[in-house]
Amino acid sequence: MFNFLIDASLKQRLLVLALSLVLIVYGSLTIKQMPVDVFPDLNKPTVTLLTESGGMAPEEVEQLVTFPIETAMNGMPGVTRVRSVSGIGLSVVYVEFDWGTEIFRNRQQVAERLSLVKEQLPEGIVPQMGPIASIMGEIMLIALPADPAQANPMQVREYADWVMRPRLLTIPGVAQVIPIGGEVKQYRVEPDPAQMQALGITLEQIESALKYYAANTSGGFLEQGAREYLIRNIGRTERLADLQNLAVSAKNNQPILLKQVAQVKLAAAAKRGDASYNAKPAVILSVQKQPAADTVKLTRDIETALADLGKSLPAGMSPPQVVFKQAHFIEASVTNVEEALRDGAIMVAVILFLFLLNFRTTLISLTAIPMSILITALVFKWMELSINTMTLGGLAIAIGALVDDAVVGLENILRRLKRNIADGTNTPPLEVIAAATKEVLSGIVYATVIIALVFVPLFALSGIEGRLFAPLGIAFIVSILASMLVSVTLTPVLCYYLLARSASVATGSGEKTPWWSLRFNLRADEEYSPLVKKLKQWDTHALYWAFDHASPLLAAALIAALLAAATVPFFPRAFLPLFNEGTLTISMLLNPGTSLSESNRTGVRAEQLIAQVPEVIHVGRRTGRAELDEHAEGVHSTEIDVDLKRSQRSRDAVLQDIRNRLAVLPAVVNVGQPISHRLDHILSGVRAQIALKIYGDDLDTLRALAAQLRERLATIPGVTDLQIEKAVLIPQLKLRVDYEKAAA
């Protein structure tokens, strides 16, 4: 097959060049259109079920809501794990399916099971499926600050809910937008028991009147003459006075209005979370993307939408500010790998020129790099892979090997052309090039296949490890196989046009030579460059010296191998290297039972302390849980996002400075990074590098064991930000019913 490729390429030289040009154009367009992300697709198919439980205690939520749903989800085809979190008035169940399963089919299965379990849930409790998104999908945090003197928190939240959120959801690729902070506007009716008793009004009468308030109804059709009219009863209104004047009942033919038995006003809804930006009240919107969306492109579309929204903001509101942007880290990571590819290509070019001492031979060899990368890009598109740190890392590893096949074939072609001149055989250049390429063909194929086999074990990895590292192996193997293809097709053709014509001039064959070949002449007396000649001399001396000292050299090699093997157990181990994302996520836990107002006060103080660090650009805070959020965090939990700028201090020094400043607060602080936290959450279910989980039936025993472990683990060197999650004791006021007295 390879012999056929060589002969066909040399016979159809113009076709090979034309196809190469098409590949360059189409491959370049493909690379520009490929999605860019920080990592390969790590989204294990997961369906999230959220169930609002109307202020139930965590114990009731777990027993009455979470347990029936978990039981129903277990046993479905493809389910690998079901885990849950039960909080105050909220149940979150995560149903994880096996890799490779279809997410839409999974959601259909979950919906079928939910229809069976609804009868077991308390009245009015309806589970909802969350959107198709991943834990790595939180790509932006957007703060909407406002001047309290001109815009109250209710107006800011109303703008975020009814203007910003719908606008961002229209952008293709956005899965969910979750606002937190401000105040949600409600109509509040506070009955007055004394007035109700005086006027003989019951609570059921008020509820019945409110149930049908402000509703539009249909009255059918009215035919009059030749026309037909639709009859509508317009009862919907937004005026507070209309609600206040709602008739609840009548006494002595006089209506009793709602305002006579209750206080009716606009008020903020009860909330379980709040937000701020730079220690001032604000609304923060969390933007989550769909799994297959291009993070960088989607971020640009969101920024364009924010710029349009910023042109027509209500009075008192400042333009939206980006607190966190995942695209920053992605662009920095991709740029670093691209620079490594560029520097590697430059180094390869310099080395090739030093060994070959010829611009044309160097150019021919270097064409293997872009051609191989473009072929790899087409394979990425066919396999639906993205441009990320792992795929680019595979190309960076292969950058030196991409020119190996071309150099081997080129060097032999050049040597055979020179020998053809020296021998005076006047063999046609096409025959010389074909024979020279076939001569080293077996070495090219064997070497390439052996190198590719080294990366095959990556495809045996299972779980998230396989999803993460398999694209690296694909990038490496495809690129070096593509370089082998280039070495037997395009490289011989370029050798004919750039080298063989000069051979015709040197042999006096009289073949017409293009202008670019006249600047170079093949000389038979220059078989090797001066550098290669010098290296061969050194290699000869070293080789003979090694033969004379074989025993000491073998002993030294054995000792070096043993020493290297002995150091392996002492290497630090981690799933991934430590990233410097340029952004921090600081988790702050107060004592369970801390009120939202106290958590806000402590959170604002934490923001002020963090802002004193010279490297901090801005700070955004989210306390508690948003209304649409799938994280069942209590109001004692705060998450602070910090954007940093470069400085002379190291990252560890900046983190330690922040820890020292926050040490004065009565809180457990965990300083991490957004993407790293999400990776940890994928691996262990919690946002920490190491998680110890204690199982059992008695919560009190679990809490005691967790406290003992915390004291012991705190003494281990290197352990920082140690905290206990989940099994926290929330202060409660328990009213127990005495059924005998109640019956009396």
pLDDT digits (tens, 9 = 90+) for 466-486: 888 888 889 999 999 998 888
Distance (Å, whole) CA 276 – CA 141: 12
Classify the C-alpha dihedral 476-480-481-483 as positive or negative. positive
CB of 144 closer than 8 Å to CB of 284? yes
Is residue 48 classed exposed, middle or buried when 0-12, 13-18 and 19+ CB atoms within 10 A define those classes?
middle
Length of the chain: 744
Q: Which of 702, 695, 710, 709 is nearest to 727 (CA)?
A: 702
Same CATH topology for 185-268 and 583-713: the answer is no
Radius of gyration in angstroms for the set of CA atoms belonging to the chain, rounded to a whole number? 36
Q: Which of 591, 598, 585, 616 is nearest to 681 (CA)?
A: 585
**pLDDT, greater one: 336 or 619:** 619
Distance (Å, whole) CA 661 – CA 648: 19
Mean pLDDT of 534-554: 87
Domain boundaries defined on the chain: 2-33+358-512, 44-133, 185-268, 583-713
pLDDT digits (tens, 9 = 90+) for 84-128: 888 778 888 989 898 888 888 999 999 999 888 888 888 888 888
Mean pLDDT of 499-514: 50
Distance (Å, whole) CA 81 – CA 98: 9
Query: Which 3 state secondary structure label does DSSP give 511?
Result: coil
3-state SS of 108-133 is HHHHHHHHHHHHHCCCCCCCEECCCC
Task: Convert 329-346 to b/e letters by CB count within 10 Å (16 or more is b).
Answer: bbbebbeebeebbeebbe
Instruction: Provide the H-helix boundaries in 568-664.
Output: 596-611, 651-662
Quick one: 2-33+358-512 is in which CATH superfamily? Multidrug efflux transporter AcrB transmembrane domain (1.20.1640.10)
Of the candidate ranges 35-49, 129-143, 387-401, 567-581, the one whose mean pLDDT is the lowest = 567-581
Q: Which of 338, 386, 372 is nearest to 452 (CA)?
A: 372
Distance (Å, whole) CA 86 – CA 125: 14
Distance (Å, whole) CA 146 – CA 155: 10
Is residue 316 classed exposed, middle or buried when 0-12, 13-18 and 19+ CB atoms within 10 A define those classes?
middle
Q: Maximum CA pair distance of the chain?
A: 129
**pLDDT, greater one: 737 or 733:** 737
501 has a pLDDT exceeding 70: no
Q: Which of 400, 362, 490 is nearest to 437 (CA)?
A: 490
Of the candidate ranges 282-291, 334-343, 381-390, 649-658, the one whose mean pLDDT is the lowest = 334-343
Of the candidate ranges 130-134, 307-311, 506-510, 579-583, the one whose mean pLDDT is the lowest = 506-510
Give the architecture-level CATH label for domain 185-268: 2-Layer Sandwich (3.30)
Q: Give the fold, CATH level 3, of 583-713.
A: Alpha-Beta Plaits (3.30.70)
Across the chain, how many H-helices and E-strands are there?
29, 19
Q: What's the mean per-residue pLDDT of the chain? A: 83
What CA–CA distances, in Å, run from 113 to 108, 122, 300, 380, 694? 9, 17, 39, 37, 29
Where residue 516 falls among pLDDT bands split at 50, 70, 90?
Answer: very low
Global confidence as pTM: 0.76
pLDDT digits (tens, 9 = 90+) for 234-278: 888 888 888 888 888 888 888 899 888 999 998 888 888 889 998
Mean pLDDT of 170-177: 90
Mean pLDDT of 433-450: 86
Q: Which of 81, 2, 17, 155 is nearest to 493 (CA)?
A: 17
User: What H or E segment, with its residue span, contains residue 668?
Assistant: strand 668-672
Per DSSP, which regions of 130-225 are E strands?
Answer: 138-145, 174-180, 185-191, 217-224
Q: Give the fold, CATH level 3, of 44-133.
A: Alpha-Beta Plaits (3.30.70)
The tokens of 122 are what?
Answer: 């308390």
Where residue 561 falls among pLDDT bands split at 50, 70, 90?
Answer: very high
Where residue 165 falls among pLDDT bands split at 50, 70, 90?
Answer: very high
Where residue 514 falls among pLDDT bands split at 50, 70, 90?
Answer: very low
Q: Which of 595, 680, 581 is nearest to 637 (CA)?
A: 595
Where residue 557 falls among pLDDT bands split at 50, 70, 90?
Answer: very high
Q: Which of 170, 163, 117 is nearest to 144 (CA)?
A: 163
Euclidean distance between the first and final Cα of the chain, in Å? 97
Q: Which of 360, 402, 323 is nearest to 643 (CA)?
A: 323
Query: Which 3 state secondary structure label does DSSP give 625?
Result: coil
